[in-house]
Structure 1
């Protein structure tokens, strides 16, 4: 039997855990969050992604209770959370700095919140052991934070945040302090822990790869607004704007004007060259400005003009980025535009087909590019 897909946001009967209703947050004249309405569902791993200053941390601080909305309402489990103080909310926040107590052991750090809540000794012991097991820290229980690695400290902070079984865990750039390899390993650990506990996680990050790896849905933000919130695959394959297409992953954006042609559109983009072809469910008027977003892995590179594709353009290799398993070719085409084409490196370097200054043909299918409004 196939696994059922977890997509509560497509189910009209599903009740969201968190509801933002017309939320605006101003600091003096500055609007940090601009009239936002969206939902987050139980057991979701929801990522707020965007450049510095786009409002993602303000969003999180309102959920935690450190900021109150200027206008609008935030509901948690159907209840307005504005009057509930931070320490009484079923919400916990894990900071980038981890904020562990240096003089307490790993065990006591995890137990801290439970002791404050007046839980019995046996209850605390059982819960701490459970958390140590979940985060694979059992053998480090008696050590102090300075006696363990950065990745382990990160897991202690996570165990401490989850010990009180919050409905919602907020993670503010939680992997920012870790090196690249450890970050990747920790991303998968986070996903496993989130799935095991069933806790709703909301993560703030400016690292698109991280958001795309861990999240069930990613909300791409800009200037206090969510531009698109969707699954990582849809954000990547079906961006709703040039901003989202450009923000996520490598992409070539070519601007031109649209003209209806059969099942799709012709896009005129430079003088004296054949138009490009693309299909789109969005309607464009004849002569309307448009953009096409093209992912480099969908662009084939060849020495000869391919006979089986309408989208074939000639250009010159200006740059080659060698990434071990992949090479990305930056090819200049008519009108001085750069198009990126990516190939898998299945052969040794000495056997490469193309090099700098070579004239090559780039081609892609009619459905490879996404047409976007100007």
Structure 2
């Protein structure tokens, strides 16, 4: 598991430094396949030592963007540079870039040791240097005692680490990872996420990972680019993406969220109030984006920000009455689906801090949901 920075360590955030030089510059890049636009005028900077995630649903363009970084596709328009070098016309094998595929693409007839050494041998490296580098990589991925085994003799997680070691053996400036954990089961995938973070931190290599798994991106990445229909919707740290989404799309794509549509009745000192259902109290949240009084907007609030109670919490501005429609018990937390008088279903999550024989709330109970004025965002439609 990656170590937490101490209070005296500088926070890693080169994207906030105007003098920092990006390792990767993507400037006005568009990629078309016939009449289909896979990448639509993207601008993006990625910095040295970053663990950067391209996140989005299938078909959003994230893999096409990665393939252009690797040199397997050519931009229709725009420019990609790596380490201040324009990549136009530079073949994949001439780039200081390596790519790790979801299938791992290990040679089944070669041992773990030989798989890691393969690229170094092709480059004509000295035997002693190859041996030293392979041993270094084996130690890095903790596979020293499996060096002579074939890929079919080791587990899926170990094969993933062999592929990673082979990709890092040539010390690329940039490592591209295409859904690298997709073949692993959930528990192993979660464990391997932290191993990847640790290895990336030790090597200092810039990692760019393509994934559709929100949890994976939020766990490993220093920053995340959320993509949709060939465009980047938001680039920010995982915490900013989760707590300060810039659109309804991003709020809805990342994690669980309650979305309540309404009309803006007031905007004051960075907060907006929304009228959303007849007979219900207006709801207030942090104003985000371009809002106008009387305009349509959407209120977004995470389920864990809500409180549930039997009595009306009159001290809170944001409070909604309803009936419990459904309950989900997930061990560490319970999820309540509460239907309001207007038919809106709002989800509330409560942590189970102690063992219980019976729930405090059950189906069809009348309850109040409430939250603070800063718990949610009012986003333009």
Using the size of structure 2 for normalisation, the TM-score is 0.96
CA distance in 2, matches of 1:261, 1:174: 45
Matched, 1:177 2:188: no
Structure 1 distance, partners of 2:266, 2:223, is 33
How much has 1:280 moved relative to structure 2? 2.1
Query: Using the alignment, how far apart are the partners of 1:311 and 1:168 within structure 2?
Result: 47
Secondary structure in structure 2 of the residue aligned to 1:304:
coil
Residue in structure 2 matching 1:63, options 69, 74, 93 = 69
- Could you tell me which residue of structure 2 aligns to residue 79 of structure 1? 85
1:351 Cα deviation from its structure 2 partner = 2.9
* Residues in 1 aligned to 2:290 and 2:209: alpha-carbon distance in whole angstroms: 35
1:327 alignment counterpart: 334
Residue in structure 1 matched with residue 223 of structure 2 by the alignment: 217
Aligned residues: 374
Q: CA deviation at 1:262?
A: 4.7
Partner of 1:53: 59
In structure 2, what is the equivalent of residue 366 of structure 1? 373
Pick one of 128, 139, 149 that aligns with 2:145.
139
2:365 and 2:169 map into 1 onto residues whose CA distance is 60
| Partner-residue secondary structure (3-state), 1:350 | coil
Verify: 1:290 aligned to 2:297, yes or no.
yes
Residue 307 of structure 1: how far off its partner (Å): 2.6
- Flag the 1:261–1:119 CA change in 2: closer, same or farther, 3 A: closer
- Offset, 1:261: 5.5
Where 1:351 maps in the other structure, the secondary structure is coil
Corresponding residue number in structure 1 for 2:284:
277
Question: What is the RMSD computed on CA atoms of the aligned residues?
Answer: 1.0
CA contact (8 A) 2:246 2:289 kept: no
- CA offsets 1:163-204 (integer angstroms, 9 cap, x no match): 000000000000000000000110000000000000000000
Contact 2:288 2:380 in 1 (8 A): no
1:29 aligns with 2:35: yes
Residue pair 2:98, 2:167 contacting (<8 A) in 1 also: yes
Match of 1:161 in 2: 167
Deviations 1:218-251 (A, max 9, x none): 1000000010010000000000000000000000
Provide the secondary structure at the position in 1 that maps to 2:364.
coil
User: Does 1:342 find its partner at 2:379?
Assistant: no
Note the C-alpha offset of 1:276: 1.0
Any runs of at least 4 consecutive aligned residues in structure 1 with deviations exceeding 6 A, and if so which? Answer: none
TM-score with structure 1 setting the length = 0.98
User: What is the DSSP-based 3-state SS (H/G/I as helix, E as strand, rest coil) of the residue aligned with 1:239?
Assistant: coil
Alpha-carbon separation, structure 2, partners of 1:220 and 1:190: 21
- Is 1:253 equivalent to 2:238 in the alignment? no
Residue in structure 2 matching 1:232, options 238, 245, 263:
238
Partner of 1:356: 363
2:106–2:115 CA contact under 8 A, matched in 1: yes
Distance (whole Å) between structure 1 residues aligned to residue 326 and residue 15 of structure 2: 42
What SS does the corresponding residue of 2:181 show, helix, strand or coil? coil
Q: Is 2:198 the counterpart of 1:199?
A: no
**Which whole-Å CA distance do the structure 2 matches of 1:62 and 1:157 have between them?**
21
Deviation at 1:53, TM superposition (A): 0.3
- Equivalent residue in structure 1 for 2:111, among 96, 105, 111: 105
Match of 2:4 in 1: none
Alpha-carbon separation, structure 2, partners of 1:357 and 1:106: 59
User: Which one of the candidate residues 190, 194, 206 is aligned to 1:188?
Assistant: 194
State the partner residue of 2:45.
39
Q: Does 1:265 align with 2:272?
A: yes
The alpha-carbon deviation at position 274 of structure 1 amounts to 2.0
How has the CA–CA distance of structure 1 residues 116 and 262 changed in structure 2, closer, same or farther, with 3 Å as cutoff?
closer
- Runs (5+) with no aligned partner, structure 1: none
Distance 1:282 1:243, change over 3 A: closer
